Structure 1
Amino acid sequence: MASSFYSNTQHIDFASVLAMNDPGMVSMFQALIASGLEGFLGCTAVVYETALVDFFENASVRDGVIISTVAAQLVEISEEWFAEMFELPVDGLADVSEIPKDKIFYARSIVSMTGEPVILSGLKSQMKIHYRLLCNIMAKSISMKAGSFNALTVEKFSLMTAVVCRVKMNWGRVLFGILKKMVTSGTKQAKGFAIQISLLLANVPNLELGESSEFPSSKILTEKTVHIAVIDKSGAQDADVAPKATKAPKKHTAAVPADVPVVKRKRTTNKKDSSSKDNLELMAVAQEAVPIQMIEALPLLLMMILLTNQQ
């Protein structure tokens, strides 16, 4: 199904996200615009599913040009047309591996949540929230690499560095190179760019595309959905939004005031009276130390009680 070509994609409604009351997020989206990726990540979100299936089933690369058959019609996509359609920059570095090492080192501190340089073999939870979202965008909408989206790889971070540090990139060549890998058999490159390919096919003269499908709104980053998108839909969640572990319920015991004495039962008998078994008395004996004077007075007190009972 064509939906597999955009199951992980995150498209951007730039007008909406730039109106957010979140300086960090807004600055990140402004950096994407400054990099020249706005036309690619924010183009009209329409999908022609039948045409997409045809395109990927029949596509191949010949002399640097992507050729396919869609609805029994030949389609050719060149790097120049691809870059022109999305207004992508064509000057600068043509490979993210060419980004200077000092830029990458500098970016590792900029994006860090703690200020310490992030570890490239670690997880994206090391980074500030808005840079985690940038990592998602680079992984899901640009590189389209399968695997864990929470892992912070060198390739993903190099793409992020290009945006964060405003490195001049030939995005036309970089993105077209990824598209060529998508249609080349034997590569591990996941298929994607569903919206962008649909737009390209829609601009092929006399090409019958069939009915268009509305792109899922849940996959479009807007002012309302941008924070939800920080959660990785691959099955894992960021550390700051992960559910907390539940603690075992505590056993509740009845509280006993400290000043309440423990009462013990003491049986007293009257040896002179045969019915003394019926004259049992309960006396409260306090746990606290009893003054000596009270101990000496106890026999007299007991005598008075016994006399009273006999009367």
Structure 2
Amino acid sequence: MESSLIANALQVNFDSVLTFPEEGMVKMFKALESTGLRSFLGCPSVLYEQDLEQFFSVAFVRENEVSSSVQGKFVGIFEEKFVGAFELSIAGLIDMTEVPKDLVYDARCIFSASGEPVKTFCKKREMKFEFRLLNYILAKSVTVKAGSFDAVTHERFLLMTAIHFGLKINWIKILFDIFKEMVTKSSKQAKGFAAQICVLLKGAPNLTLGEAKNFPPLKILTVKTVGTFPPSINDGMYDDATRMHGLAHIIEGVMHVGNLYTLFTLAVSWLELPLMLAHIIGDIKGTVYRDSTLMGHLDT
């Protein structure tokens, strides 16, 4: 239970990823932020693993509420709590088949790595790296799918299209329905939303949670951790996306070495100062001595 919850989790550090040096990546993350998922994907990353295990082991759906027991106390989570905790939109698209056809066609060209229109069900390597990453984020953190992400599903392609073009999406309805599927025993929906559920449990009244652990750093998406994706997910994406970033690091490194060299030079110069002063004083004394001797000779 614990491993699957962590495996199907991915947080986004928006403050970091919005500084990405590649323009396409920044536009993708801004679109993801603008759609209303910043508070959901970027919520506090603290895990209460034992409490999560308890929560899922006895959770069930009652009407429009997910009910469970943690530390021997009743816990109820309903849509309004999701809205309040993560500032999710309550209006917009629910059925992605309603995404306008002309936008879908445009997306087939925009998402394509080759410039040729891709199918709405395609291999991820056929898309530009920023849209491969968007597909990965949605699969891990929104629709919560376990397993391989080599293929982009038709449903996820439509969702990516809606996000890219800034269409309003009813995230509370979509996410809460997925949440309910997670606790439905007969459902094949993978379990996830680990960090988000922990936020809700921590805010529950009269509930004291157990040991808290920091979210695994490699499960938090930043400019640096993009390159830690496994080859089956990355597939050269990071190499393209961080070419400029790597160059920036090289320049930064050179500047750092230059600064160290400057500091070293200053330190050496400071240490040599007494010796230099001694030489100067010696030269002055020598000059005075020579001048006085010369004056003596002239006087005579």
Same fold (TM over 0.5): yes
* Count, aligned residues: 239
Write the distance in 2 (CA, Å) between the matches of 1:97 and 1:182: 23
Q: Deviations over 1:13-32 (max 9, x none)?
A: 11111112111111111111
| Superposition map of 1:55-204 within 5 A | 55-204=55-204
Alignment partner, residue 281 of structure 1 = none
Unaligned runs of 5+ in 2: 240-300
Checking the alignment, whether the CA contact within 8 Å between 1:133 and 1:230 is kept in structure 2 is: no
Write the distance in 1 (CA, Å) between the matches of 2:27 and 2:12: 14
Write the distance in 2 (CA, Å) between the matches of 1:230 and 1:167: 31
SS of the residue 1:103 aligns to:
helix
Alignment partner, residue 247 of structure 2 = none
Write the distance in 1 (CA, Å) between the matches of 2:11 and 2:23: 20
SS of the residue 1:6 aligns to:
helix
Checking the alignment, whether the CA contact within 8 Å between 2:46 and 2:195 is kept in structure 1 is: yes
Alignment partner, residue 28 of structure 1 = 28
Write the distance in 2 (CA, Å) between the matches of 1:231 and 1:65: 39
Write the distance in 2 (CA, Å) between the matches of 1:99 and 1:83: 24
Instruction: Identify the structure with the greater helix proportion.
Output: 2
Alignment partner, residue 273 of structure 1 = none
Write the distance in 1 (CA, Å) between the matches of 2:132 and 2:38: 19
Q: Deviations over 1:163-192 (max 9, x none)?
A: 111111111111111101101111111000
Q: Deviations over 1:211-244 (max 9, x none)?
A: 11111001111121124337445xxx526679xx
Write the distance in 1 (CA, Å) between the matches of 2:8 and 2:62: 29
Question: For residue 69 of structure 1, what is the amino acid of its counterpart?
Answer: S
Question: For residue 145 of structure 1, what is the amino acid of its counterpart?
Answer: K
Question: For residue 170 of structure 2, what is the amino acid of its counterpart?
Answer: N
Write the distance in 2 (CA, Å) between the matches of 1:188 and 1:195: 21
Alignment partner, residue 49 of structure 1 = 49
Would the alpha carbon gap of residues 232 and 193 (structure 1) be closer, same or farther in structure 2, given more than 3 Å must change? farther
Alignment partner, residue 238 of structure 1 = 235
Write the distance in 1 (CA, Å) between the matches of 2:226 and 2:150: 17
* Aligned-pair CA distance for 1:44: 0.6
Would the alpha carbon gap of residues 219 and 232 (structure 1) be closer, same or farther in structure 2, given more than 3 Å must change? farther
Write the distance in 2 (CA, Å) between the matches of 1:224 and 1:120: 30
Would the alpha carbon gap of residues 3 and 27 (structure 1) be closer, same or farther in structure 2, given more than 3 Å must change? same
Alignment partner, residue 17 of structure 1 = 17
Checking the alignment, whether the CA contact within 8 Å between 1:132 and 1:230 is kept in structure 2 is: no
Question: For residue 7 of structure 2, what is the amino acid of its counterpart?
Answer: S
* Aligned-pair CA distance for 1:97: 3.4
Kindly, what percent of the aligned residue pairs are identical? 48
